[in-house]
Structure 1
Amino acid sequence: MIFLLTSGILTTLILTLSWFFIRRQGRSDRAPAQSASTILETKESAEKITYWRISGIPEDCDKDKLIDFLRKHDNSLKIDLSDLSLFPGCYSQKQVGVLRTKGIPESFQRIKPEGDYVSISGLSTGGVTIDRNFYNLTPLNRPEGGNSIVDVVAVTGLAGHAFGSWRNRESGKMWLQDFLPNDIKNIRVLTYGYNSNLIGNTVDDTLQDQRSNLFIQLLNVRNTAEVAILTMIIP
């Protein structure tokens, strides 16, 4: 299903994983979507790599400064510049970071995929927060020139994960972050996370709740009162 939100010349395009992955599966480095339990919690995940989202990063903070800050919080943290990506935030002027670690750092041990996070004071007013659930919207690229014409928002299916389900288990590449912005210019790529865990045959929140929250998040990102919504069904 594709939801198309239009505000002036700006268009928000939400792609569910089924349609777009089918179109891209001809490239060997794209893999089918994988569940959160497979990606995040099994020993088969690529090199036991874990991805973390860091929110609340000041606009003027660069990678070096953020890594120094994190190492002061946990001196056992073994990361370098290639393990960190910084993107403009979609809710405020602050940046969002995606951090890659091998294994789980000691200070991150209590952060669970289901929704826990840690807050670290300093660096900015209110500090920064670190999670691994990627709930709500997370930006995954820095549009050229700082402007984008189209927003591509990926929504995983039930029992999926907003980041892990789009990642190739063998190569470790994350398609939305590593390839899509290079294939299509002038777009902003975001992934939408929600509690998709299956409990028996049910989900904690109803699909209607998830749908409503998604639209609220999109309206907050667009920050406009004049938004037209067009829904199209892809067979």
Structure 2
Amino acid sequence: MATTKTTYRVQGIPANASPDDIKTIISKALGEDGIKADPTIHSLGSNPYKPPNTSTKVATVTFAHTPENLDRRGELTADVPWDNKIHHISVDSSFQGFTPLNDTEDEIGDMIDVIAISGLSSHPFGSWKARGGKFMWLRDEVAKTANRARVLLYGYNTSLVNSESFQDIGDIAKRLSSDVNAIRGGRPGQDVFMPTPIVFIAHSLGGLVVKEAIYKMSEQYPDDFLSIYGLLLFGVPNGGIKTQYWMPIVDRNPNRGLITSLEPDAYYLRSLQDNFNRVFCFPDARVTSVYETMKSATTKVSRKAKFSFHIADAFK
């Protein structure tokens, strides 16, 4: 068994399970090494893809000792008996799709959905905490102090190394807009459907994905589009990136087009900004951008095909 700081996501947890029950269920899902794993539960939220009355729970956990099969593969699934039922439990470290970090205090009132989206070649969870640290501000502060905010991470695949993906920003944004629509609806007890307000938090490429998704939502999902109240953007390359730092990584892989679309003054970026400005122009909407004014680390590939961080002016 390995000792690790990796945070895992556990899905399929029965909604009525107590904290001790959840630890037992997770340990059973891990098999023979489950007892020694000693899971610590850091957050718990209802599965956003399921109706509230049938929802299961989703947890973020760490282990004192991670079972070798989980440490090696990064994911596992198991059918676990509990409370006279069989529950399909999945454990993963990829965090694809939506991951809830909390539940709101009640289901009626002034609720808000906070949706966080990470950037290029990043991790949906790890992007929001210090490298090597334990504190994850969206989970450990925002989700615990904003009682009426449902905080959700959104993960998508932007791996650059040896990627076989042809997806571009438009493809990712289309999936995001569809997933946002899938998890939203009226709250129990509401006589009239009242869409929950949305605030997007995005980093790097995630900001471009959000802008593209908002444009698509304006055409396909008007209720969701009209619910967007604001954006908080960190280091979004609206003017493009210096792609020479990324081209050696993607080489001639199918995802090369994703990088070339981010070149400074690329037509796609100009078109994206024009479309976003045209539709997201509400007088009470807010867009707050945070950006660096000093050179920052970016990735370079060495002669031995290993990746390391170098200080460079990677963004225009």
With structure 2 as the length reference, what TM-score do the two structures score?
A: 0.51
The answer as to whether partners of 1:111 and 1:132 remain within 8 angstroms in 2 is no
Number of the residue aligned with 2:26: 70
The answer as to whether partners of 1:89 and 1:95 remain within 8 angstroms in 2 is yes
Output the CA distance in 2 between the equivalents of 1:49 and 1:61.
25
Higher strand fraction (1 or 2)? 1
Residue identity in the other structure for 1:88: S
Gaps of 5+ in 1: 1-46
Residue identity in the other structure for 2:115: V
Give the Å deviation of 1:126. 5.2
Give the Å deviation of 1:98. 0.9
Say which of 103, 114, 119 aligns to 1:157.
119
Number of the residue aligned with 1:88: 46
Give the Å deviation of 1:127. 1.1
Say yes or no: does 1:189 pair with 2:151.
yes
The answer as to whether partners of 2:58 and 2:99 remain within 8 angstroms in 1 is yes
Number of the residue aligned with 1:53: 9
Give the Å deviation of 1:78. 3.0
| Distance verdict in 2 for CA 1:209–1:48, change over 3 Å | same
Task: Name the SS for the 1:109 alignment partner.
Answer: helix
The answer as to whether partners of 2:37 and 2:66 remain within 8 angstroms in 1 is no
The answer as to whether partners of 2:41 and 2:59 remain within 8 angstroms in 1 is no
Give the Å deviation of 1:186. 0.8
The answer as to whether partners of 2:36 and 2:65 remain within 8 angstroms in 1 is no
Output the CA distance in 2 between the equivalents of 1:219 and 1:94.
19
Task: Name the SS for the 2:173 alignment partner.
Answer: helix
Higher helix fraction (1 or 2)? 2
Count of residue pairs the alignment pairs up: 184
Output the CA distance in 2 between the equivalents of 1:119 and 1:128.
6
Number of the residue aligned with 1:128: 89
Task: Compare CA radii of gyration and give the structure with the larger one.
Answer: 2
Task: Name the SS for the 1:227 alignment partner.
Answer: helix
Task: Name the SS for the 1:177 alignment partner.
Answer: helix
Gaps of 5+ in 2: 187-220, 227-275, 281-286, 290-316
Residue identity in the other structure for 1:164: G
Give the Å deviation of 1:216. 1.1
RMSD: 2.8
Highest RCO, 1 vs 2 (Cα 8 Å, sep ≥ 6) = 1
Number of the residue aligned with 2:243: none
| Distance verdict in 2 for CA 1:59–1:111, change over 3 Å | same
Task: Name the SS for the 1:127 alignment partner.
Answer: strand
Number of the residue aligned with 2:236: none
Number of the residue aligned with 1:227: 223
Give the Å deviation of 1:141. 1.3
Output the CA distance in 2 between the equivalents of 1:107 and 1:201.
24
Output the CA distance in 1 between the equivalents of 2:37 and 2:66.
11
Give the Å deviation of 1:68. 1.5
What is the percent sequence identity of the aligned residues? Answer: 27
Task: Name the SS for the 1:144 alignment partner.
Answer: coil
Number of the residue aligned with 1:145: 106
| Distance verdict in 2 for CA 1:220–1:178, change over 3 Å | same
Number of the residue aligned with 1:214: 176
Give the Å deviation of 1:144. 1.7
